[in-house]
Amino acid sequence: MQDLKVGLIQCELAWEAPEDNRRQFDEVIAGIANNTDLIVLPEMFTTGFSMNALANAEAPGGDTEQWLLQTARVRNCAITGSIAVQVGEAVYNRMLFATPDGCQHYDKRHLFRMAGEHKRYAPGSERVVVNWRGWRILLQVCYDLRFPVFSRNTGDYDLAVYVANWPAARRLHWRSLLQARAIENQACVVGVNRIGSDAKGLDYSGDSLAIDAQGNMLVDPENKNGTANAVLDGAALLRYREGFPCQLDADGFQLTGITLR
């Protein structure tokens, strides 16, 4: 299992301005090393965490998906983050995972009712694991982090990626839960959050983290703008799981109302 080189990008987001945000990320990505395997952007990276769902939603295969695909092909990498996407009458907070070969997606399952997200967006019905360069990657969005059963590792993933707009007021929760998800699932975890303030007056502290399966922090840029780079050690992950196989004693469970793919 090869190492996976990951670039975590945290920055301020222009409110409901997709072109400005894509332009900003183009400039940041230009400075990332060419051998980066995976670039991770925040949740709602083209608009900020806006509840203007219909006004901001793109169609499947729209401008931002095409931008992600072009970036993946030029950089020969995978790139992921979430945006609002409309399918029929429903709008989803959709995490797109683009590679040179195409784009897969995960629709946010747990919608943040304290902001009214559950009234403006439809919940996803699938738990999604994608494969990239020998790594099985679980896709998750922000509030999903609070629900450990949904992200329980049943031997089907090596890395969980969380993209977020997680307010600074609850930064302790964000940091602690990311570390817990790594330890309890014996998997690497990457969480990418934005910084700055949004149009609703909420402040964001960044705290984008890369964590190994034993809970060790690999990168912690705190509130710094830009890219943090991490190398996830595939061989070390396998050795740790083999030497400490606590998953063999895990309790069985079943998710209901969810499709696994």
- In 3D space, the residue among 154, 171, 140, 136 whose CA is nearest the CA of residue 4 turns out to be 136
The amino acid at 103: C
Query: Is position 77 annotated as part of the catalytic site?
Result: no
Instruction: Write the CB contacts of 251 (distance below 8 Å, at least 6 apart in sequence).
Output: none
> What are 108's two structure tokens?
């946010």
246 a catalytic residue: no
Q: Considering the candidates 43, 58, 65, 117, report the single residue annotated as catalytic.
A: 43
Taking the C-alpha atoms of residue 21 and residue 226, their distance in angstroms, rounded to an integer, is: 13
- Given the residues 11, 77, 142, 188, the one annotated as active site: 142
Catalytic annotation on 43?
yes
Find the catalytic residue in 65, 108, 117, 188.
108
The CA–CA distances, whole Å, from 66 to 31, 69, 97, 191, 248 equal 21, 5, 12, 24, 42
Active-site positions read 43, 108, 142
